[in-house]
Amino acid sequence: MIKEPKTLMLVGFMGAGKTTVGREIARQHQSLFIDVDSEIERLANQSIAEIFVARGEAGFRELETQVLSEVQTFNGIVATGGGVVERSENLAILEQSPATVIYLHGNLESTISRLLLEGQRPLLQEKSAVDFFNLWQQRDPKYQRIANFTVETVGKTPERIAAEIVALFSSNEDELALLQLRSEIDAFDRQIFQLIEKRMQVVSSVAQYKKKFDMKTVQQPRMLKMRELLKYDFEDSKDITDEMIDQIMSILTTSAINKENEQLKR
7 is in an annotated binding site: no
Contact 1/168 with Cβ under 8 angstroms?
no
- Number of CB atoms found within 10 A of residue 181's CB: 11
CA atoms within 13 A on the CB side of 56: 2
CB 76 within 8 A of CB 31: yes
82 marked as part of a ligand binding site: yes
* Angstrom distance (rounded) from CA 177 to CA 173: 7
The string of DSSP codes covering 141-202 is: HHHHHH-SEEEE-TT--HHHHHHHHHHHTTS-HHHHHHHHHHHHHHHHHHHHHHHHHHHHHH
Query: DSSP strand E in the chain: where?
Result: 7-11, 32-35, 76-79, 100-105, 149-152
Angle at Cα 92 formed by Cα 66 and Cα 41, nearest 5°?
25
**17 in a labelled binding site:** yes
Neighbours of 161 (CB within 10 A): 26
Does residue 20 have a known ligand-binding role? Answer: yes
Is 59 marked as a binding-site residue?
no
Q: Is 18 annotated as a binding residue?
A: yes
Q: What's the one-letter identity of residue 143?
A: Y
Cite the annotated binding site for Mg(2+) by residue number: 19
Cite the annotated binding site by residue number: 15-20, 37, 61, 82, 121, 139
Cite the annotated binding site for ATP by residue number: 15-20, 121
Cite the annotated binding site for substrate by residue number: 37, 61, 82, 139
